[in-house]
Amino acid sequence: MRACRISLLVLALLPAPAAADPPRPAPGADRLSYSAYVAGLRVFTVRAEVDVEASRYAVSLAYQTTGLYGALVHSDLHSTVQGRFEGGRPAPERFASWGWWHGGERRTLIDYRGGRPEILALVPPNTAERDPVPPALQRGATEPLSAVAMLVRQLGDTGRCDGSARLFDGRRLSEITVHTAGPQLLGRDGRSSFQGTAMRCDFEGRQLAGFLRDAGDRARQPQRGSAWLARVLPGAPPLPVRLSFHLGLIGDVTMYLTEATPARLPD
């Protein structure tokens, strides 16, 4: 199968930030930039870099709050994963996330051995805020960046986005299901660099374990959203151009693609 290099945005921003310096762009990775709005106000930006080949992939993500919301709630998170494809499904090898979330430091480092995640670093520890996820439930789970890489690859190969995955970010275990809603025309919007027909994929996420101790019943409710994907770079599969979802206490979020830069391939 021909190797492909893509860039993408994560469908769900899961705060589980690990190590010191921001990741360097992967050689050959395309780059996408996004801005997210709530009630017409820009609240955060996202930069994504992904290099996906026939048998391996690498994804990095940078998330930063901005505007008035950023002044009130400072968050600056970075995440990266390296992995391979086995039987058409992602198999992460190392996941790292680090930065600041709501004014506190967050660090996570996970290695994967035989389908089992091994947590090497977790700051703050789960005992400070959450119930632990039992090891038996962690086995076989992937993490959010690998799950989105698989979604984009599947849509490029089959034209559909139906599927499900269990996600473990070192703190929470969730399950996400995605189904194909069909093509939809996205009109001109000054907040986005894209207009045209995109494939709409609806998703639903449900947390299974790792709940905050004071979360209550609300954390167990399903979270729903939609992602629109289209071919925006030559030779790349369909990539996210718009997302709509509910995020915690800030409400309904719409995220728009603002820039797409293709990889600079070796001469």
Q: pLDDT tens-digit profile of 210-260? A: 988 877 677 788 889 999 999 998 888 788 999 999 877 778 999 999 999
- Read off the amino acid at residue 209: A
- Read off the amino acid at residue 197: T
Helix and strand element counts for the chain (H, E): 3, 13
Q: What integer pLDDT is reported at residue 15 of this predicted model?
A: 36
Q: For 169-238, where are the E strands, in sequence order? A: 173-186, 196-209, 223-230
Are 169 and 196 a contacting pair, CB within 8 Å? no
Contacts of 76 (CB under 8 A, 6+ apart): 63, 64, 65, 99, 100
pTM of the model: 0.85
What distances in angstroms separate CA 211 from CA 47, 76, 219, 246, one per listed residue? 28, 23, 7, 18
Domain boundaries, the chain: 30-261
User: Alpha carbon 215 to chain centroid distance?
Assistant: 23
In tens, the pLDDT along 7-62 reads 333 333 333 333 334 344 455 678 999 999 999 999 999 999 877 777 888 889 99
Beta bridge partners of 99: 77, 106
Q: Is 142 exposed, middle or buried (0-12, 13-18, 19+ CB in 10 A)?
A: buried
**Higher-scoring residue by pLDDT: 145, 126:** 145
In whole angstroms, give the CA distance from residue 78 to residue 97.
Answer: 6
In tens, the pLDDT along 72-114 reads 888 999 999 999 988 888 999 999 999 998 778 999 999 998 8
DSSP state of 157: H
Residue 85, classed as helix, strand or coil, is strand
